Amino acid sequence: MKLPLKKTKPKTTLPARITNDTVAEHREQILSGARRFKYPMQYARKKLVRNAIIIGSLVVLLMGGLLYANLYIWRASDDFIYRLTRVLPVPVAKADGETVRYSDYLLLYRSSISNLKAKYSKTTDAEGIKNMEDLQRRKNLRLMVEQAYASKIAREKNIVITDNQVQEFITQQRGSLSELDHYRAARKNFGWSPDEYRHITKMALLKQDVAFALDSEAQQTKHKVEEGIKAGKSLQSIASELGSAVEYGDRGFVDRNNQDGGLAKAALALEKGKTSKEVRTLTGDGYYFVTNQDSTENRVHYDYIKIPLKQFQSDVNKLYDEHKVEYYIDDVNKKEVEQ
């Protein structure tokens, strides 16, 4: 026979004894409980703020992860990514401690790859297009590494390119074209806006000035050529004396607007048999001297000596040899990337 269960009352916890020492503590406990009923939104707001911070942090992490994947894993180069990198100064590489901006790299890469696709897309398969993209990626990374290194040297040597210098160069390049037509051609051929075209031009001029400033050996060779000219020697005989330090060539007759960086115009400005002072062409790859062998009103026969600039490229190659160049998007053998 089962005995009936006894009903037990739940034990209640007796409040602690209130004394003069604990009265303030008990008062605060009572008031704190009352506040929850009097100001319920205050506590709900705190939860909302906390939840908003958590959600916001997760969104930022997610967006950051997607951006990282697009830039450094998938290597996206579409319009949205390009515009984003112009706003956010994210790096694509580092050269001797100098950051290479992703936006500058994309500015070159997008123009080069769009031209190649337009030219070869109908005759090249997908694998061939991919190989071309990889090659252009490496070439443009190399160019931007050179640009970053040039920027570092320019700061050290106080070399600055002004907006006036940029405009003068553009005016020289466009020749008889109007400024508007020149910018239209830049957009058609490279996809660059006027601001982007000026930015590219400014970077190129800065790198040229740095290359000239660094190459003391080329400067010494230039002085030797100038001494030979003063002595009445021909460029051909001077080139024979200096050997591999210079390059000699004879153009024959060419138009004054020949695509030679301005050498034809410089020669046409001379009297027959006269030799110019040093000429820096639009390509900025060395010192030139030209002699007007013969000319008509719009055509000129000239020969020339070129003193190539070598020090800058040698210094950049040394950065690669000493592992001072780091790419963030491409796991490639950097020594394969030629200038």
In a domain, residue 178? The reply is: yes
My answer on whether 89 and 112 are in the same domain is: yes
My answer on whether 210 and 222 are in the same domain is: no
- In this predicted model, which residue has the larger pLDDT, 15 or 18? 18
Tokens coding 192 = 């660059």
In a domain, residue 4? The reply is: no
My answer on whether 209 and 226 are in the same domain is: no
In a domain, residue 7? The reply is: no
pLDDT at site 257 = 83
My answer on whether 189 and 90 are in the same domain is: yes
CATH number, position 204: 1.10.4030.10
In a domain, residue 336? The reply is: no
pLDDT at site 339 = 44
- In this predicted model, which residue has the larger pLDDT, 101 or 47? 101
Percentage of the chain beyond pLDDT 90 is: 64
125-180 residue pLDDT tens: 888 888 888 999 999 999 999 999 999 999 999 999 999 999 999 998 887 789 99
My answer on whether 84 and 209 are in the same domain is: yes
What's the rounded mean pLDDT across residues 300-309? 97
140-155 residue pLDDT tens: 999 999 999 999 999 9
My answer on whether 250 and 278 are in the same domain is: yes
pLDDT at site 12 = 45
Closest Cα to residue 98, out of 157, 67, 160, 144?
144
In a domain, residue 324? The reply is: no
The kind and range of the H/E element at 250 are: strand 247-255
State the total domains in the chain: 3
pLDDT at 251 over 80: yes
Torsion of CA 161, 198, 285, 255, to 10 degrees: -120
| Those residues with Cβ within 8 angstroms of residue 40's Cβ, 6 or more apart along the chain or in another chain | none
My answer on whether 224 and 238 are in the same domain is: yes
92-106 residue pLDDT tens: 999 999 999 999 999
Closest Cα to residue 113, out of 80, 157, 75, 146?
75
My answer on whether 88 and 208 are in the same domain is: yes
Question: Final residue of a domain: which of 179, 195, 214?
Answer: 214
My answer on whether 107 and 157 are in the same domain is: yes
My answer on whether 104 and 165 are in the same domain is: yes
Between 8-12, 118-122, 159-163, 180-184, the lowest mean confidence (pLDDT) is in: 8-12
My answer on whether 204 and 245 are in the same domain is: no
Percentage of the chain beyond pLDDT 70 is: 85
In a domain, residue 229? The reply is: yes
201-221 residue pLDDT tens: 999 999 999 999 999 999 999
pTM score, whole prediction: 0.79
The one-letter code for the residue type at 180 is: L
What values do phi and psi take at 258, rounded to 5? -55, 140
Mean pLDDT of the chain: 87
In a domain, residue 242? The reply is: yes
Tell me the residue length of the chain: 339
In a domain, residue 36? The reply is: yes
The kind and range of the H/E element at 42 are: helix 40-68
Provide the residue range defining the domain that includes 87.
Answer: 76-214
pLDDT at site 300 = 96
My answer on whether 80 and 198 are in the same domain is: yes
The one-letter code for the residue type at 16 is: A
Predicted confidence band at 297 (pLDDT cuts at 50, 70, 90)? confident
